[in-house]
Chain A
Amino acid sequence: MSRVRADEEEYWHSSKFRAFTFDDEDDELSQLKESKRAVNSLRDIVDDDDDDLERVSWSGEPVGSISWSIKETASGSTSSLDGRDSSLQKGSSSYAALPKQASSYSLSSLFKGRNKLSSFQSLSDALTDTGVKNYAPELRRPKAEYKDYSSDWSPKDTVRRMQRGKVCSLERFRSLQDKLVLLDEAVAGHDGNVITAVLIFLKRTLRREILFRELEVRQVALCHLIHFLRETGEQKFLLDLLRFLDRTEEVALSQYREHLNIQDVEKRREFLKGCIGLPFSAEDTSHVQDHYTLLERQIIIEANDRHLETAGQSELFRKYPRKASILNMPLVTTLFYSCFYHYTEAEGMFSSPTNLKKTFKIPDKQYVLTALAARAKLRAWGDVDALLTTKNWLGYTKKKAPIGFHRVVEILQRNNAPVQVLQEYVRLVEDVETRLNLATKYKCHDVVIETYRDLKDRIQLTAYKCKVERGSAEEEKIQSILSN
């Protein structure tokens, strides 16, 4: 599959793989079965559906798996569930009968002789063995067991108890000193759950400035608090914290992220406007500025075009109704849209492609690519021609494609351009080999013939003669070249 693909092709093609079927033999097999009813004891096995390695329901999931039964309980009614009982049991037992893997490096094989603990295969294994009791849920425990706030736990013990999932009251830790010791203990335990719990407590009981100051020298705890604030969406608190820490770029990004939660476009635009002044990196500053400008344009274009479309007076919109609103679309999509619906507009118009190109400093390559795709889709071959034509100051015209003419051909071909249009650009592909390939692929006979002529390749030209239609102009052309 590396660079030597040919070899690979060969073996795939040389051996024929087809779904393995035995249909032609099915009858024979059943005849065999029929005639040998004597082997009665084995009938069950033979009758079994052939690939019933594990009992599988219609969705292909083994019956008895959890997600299967959820589906079943959710869809089936109570009565039908009882009926299924037996099949469920049977299903799961056949599932359990799956051959265990025989590889030499399995966990279980490491434990030859220690059957009980040999693997974690199933919950029941774990249940039967007291040594691994922590795998089983212990639901029924007296309430009192985890409500012992009263004892006077040290910070260390408190953290340890919390790590074991027990509820502890933190209110006893009153002084700043105590609280910080508690926090440091929690951090030392590395259990994010406990760290966060302590932070929630600290956040509630400490003044912001103090909390921030102390967290500044406790980076791990700080990260957890930031994560917590992000999760719970306490945006304002988070921004205050980041500002305090002078992590300005993060403040900016974090605030910018908020725009995703604003559905209303007008409000979103206003919000983005407010983001422009934020301390992003230089690179991101210009991106955010562009983001705002783009949305602003899109709002204008959208209002205008929706009106045009509903009025039904523009032929373009009638013929090609818009599939979706342009709001919140990426820049390149917007450019495509504008090349599609507003191609001829003057640069002064917000919706004109040239205006977009200038405002967002879209590189030539990107622009040509997008415009080409849009105009080709409309089959506006004249526009395509103009797009690729440049005039020098003497007034001479020349065809130029910043994306390379092979790409032009691809795009046009994808939009079902007629051969006459295609071949004009195929001819301009500089690399001879690529040109020949494209010309042959898209049946631009003239280009093929001319290229061989220029290469003075009689053999190829003669060979190509069989590929063109008999008695066609192309054949004549080849004939005349060959006879010269």
Chain B
Amino acid sequence: QAIVWDEYLTGPFGLIAQYSLLKEHEVEKMFTLKPGRLPPADVKNIIFFVRPKLELMDIITDNVLREDRGRSPQRDFHILFVPRRSLLCEQWLKEQGVLGSFIHREQYSLDLIPFDGDLLSMESESAFKECYLESDQTSLYHAAKGLMTLQALYGTIPQIFGKGDCARHVANMMIRMKREFPGSQNSIFPVFDTLLLLDRNVDLLTPLATQLTYEGLIDEIYGIQNTYVKLPPEKFAPKKQGEGGKDLPTEPKKLQLNSAEELYAEIRDKNFNAVGSVLSKKAKIISAAFEERHHAKTVGEIKQFVSQLPHMQAARSSLANHTSIAELIKDITTSEDFFDNLTVEQEFMSGIDTDKVNNYIEDCIAQKHPLIKILRLVCLQSVCNSGLKQKVLDHYKREIIQTYGYEHILTLNNLEKAGLLKPQTGGRNNYPTIRKTLRLWMDDVNEQNPNDISYVYSGYAPLSVRLAQLLARPGWRSIEEVLKMLPGPHFEERQQLPTGLQKKRQQGENRVTLVFFLGGVTYAEIAALRFLSQMEDGGTEYIIATTKLINGTTWIKSLMEKLEPAPF
């Protein structure tokens, strides 16, 4: 059999299955899905692994129609939808007259994909758009299903908290599903004490700001996809000088980033300004370790040294990689434009001059900086001012469409619908109250040895994570007023546990909370939650789940009108 892959799926699938495993299951060949005739392959079965998207159905149709009917043996087609079989897509295939060509149509329910020891994602790129622009709650249904699976594996979660309309929906669905499948009552000792469901639109601010943790910056600048990042190759020159240093590699350097790498686990969540000192300390340690060999005199000593070599060499190459990445990032963070951009962001977040047209934004438009950058800043200003004055909003919109094209009216409308960009209504700006009550802006931030989550944005404490923190201690009752200012209801549900499964907590044992971000989460927010997990007197550990790992750029992009016609 051969598999034809929707390219988008190969990333997530790579995280759970290796090719060798598929080979064991008699997968002979793999192709990427593209229009035209399928490549020849001497196999009986062709299986399409695809997301349920109409444009992909068109490609499949094309593949099937061009298949040579005369060939022998004839090949059989199957289709496997990830994560759900879509009747809409099948209907579409039927209209194209190819539905009958598929012998099997199945689904592969891949709801939550593990990205790291404490991180699960559905990798549903359009979840936010679907929920908030199109009122399509399918992704919430998947989220609820994923949570049911998780509960089947890790026990019923006794407490559910939530904030936002989507959170309410998911909780409702979970309760309903539980009622409808009484068999799902399991006898597993619960791992999670609490589930916290958070709508992304409760905190629209955080993803718009530039993340300043190491991992966050890698994502902002190079984009991390399914734990892999592609980097410009120049800094990763071949290590052996003898190999003719002239021809530098032209292929981007691809690296996997996760906590399995010791060094990365240590620095990923640090503020970038604290990364340098860690790297230099490591360099000294490793140099010292390699120096050791000069002191190794006896065969026994040498043997011991050699036995440590693989580990040291791994550490060395890891250090070399991250030093190069840090250099690449530093080139950008020390640029004038990065600094100016950050200054404006920080002014907005701390509440300075959010009610008038900003000079820097105007300058950026005049110089035709990337549109997404402009949109991020304007939206940030809007969110930090509970909406812009009509005059200011109109001015920005005008400048944007005159400079970038009238068709962006559509994108601007989408942003308004999502609440990212809006006129101030009632002339009231709630943001200062929210900022002060939740202590979103901290003036005395310590980037090296942080004592508060605000270090992840060098001053701004992500609202979403603050909500999680306050929920653990002292509880949301203390912030009722502010919760009412944020969109959507807040609620608490309890799921009854059979006696015997109720946890008797040991003194000093941490509670475990699963935080589910509906509509996406940033690496900086994850870092902030990990920071809370590690706090000595924190008392709560966090596991994070989300519909998609996002940053401001990918998020805004998902809301933009696709201006290019589809290539097929």
Contact = CB atoms under 8 A, between A and B. Distances in A.
A59 B317 CA distance: 17
A315 interface: no
B280 A15 contact: yes
Nearest to B103: A143
A51 B322 CA distance: 13
Interface in A438-463: none
B91 to A, nearest CB: 6
B84 A165 contact: yes
A257 B561 contact: yes
A66 B13 contact: yes
Given A3-B343, A38-B299, A193-B84, A330 B403 contact: yes
A103 B18 contact: no
A332 B253 CA distance: 38
Contact of A23 (B153, B241, B320, B342): B241
A284 B393 CA distance: 13
Interface range on chain A (Cβ under 8 Å from partner): 35 or more
A228 to B, nearest CB: 7
B20 A64 contact: yes
A274 interface: no
Given A165-B106, A193-B85, A196-B88, A42 B136 contact: no
Contact of B144 (A92, A190, A223, A231): A190
B32 A332 contact: no
B101 interface: no
A81 to B, nearest CB: 8
Nearest to A5: B339
A74 B152 CA distance: 39
Interface in A112-137: 117, 119-124, 126, 131-132, 134-135, 137
B10 A253 contact: no
A106 B80 contact: no
B317 A51 contact: yes
A69 B191 contact: no
Given A117-B153, A331-B402, A88 B114 contact: no
Given A22-B290, A64-B18, A107-B543, A283 B397 contact: yes
B117 A109 contact: yes
B54 interface: yes
Most buried by B among A39, A96, A104, A332: A332
Contact of B17 (A122, A140, A287, A366): A122
Main secondary structure of the interface of B (DSSP, over half): helix
B366 interface: yes
B110 A360 contact: no
A257 B410 contact: yes
Contact of B135 (A19, A38, A189, A220): A220
Contact of B409 (A3, A39, A93, A287): A287
Contacts of A89: 20
B212 interface: yes
A135 B110 contact: yes
Contact of A200 (B7, B47, B91, B323): B91
Given A105-B542, A231-B54, A332-B403, A122 B18 contact: yes
Interface in A247-304: 253, 256-257, 259-261, 263, 283-284, 287-288, 290-291, 294
A437 interface: no
Given A12-B276, A67-B10, A332 B402 contact: yes
Contacts of A290: 406
B114 A121 contact: yes
B447 A1 contact: yes
Contact of A191 (B80, B117, B138): B138
Given A45-B309, A70-B32, A287 B16 contact: no
Given A39-B302, A100-B260, A1 B109 contact: no
Interface in B320-374: 320, 323-324, 326-327, 330, 333-334, 339, 342-343, 346, 363, 366, 368
5 contacts: A18-B323, A124-B17, A165-B106, A220-B135, A331-B403
Given A17-B327, A107-B118, 17 more contacts: A12-B330, A20-B320, A48-B310, A51-B314, A67-B14, A70-B30, A92-B18, A120-B16, A123-B17, A123-B21, A162-B87, A190-B140, A190-B173, A191-B141, A220-B137, A253-B409, A331-B403
9 nearest A-B residue pairs (beta carbon): A106-B117, A192-B138, A51-B317, A197-B87, A223-B135, A291-B406, A60-B254, A123-B17, A101-B259
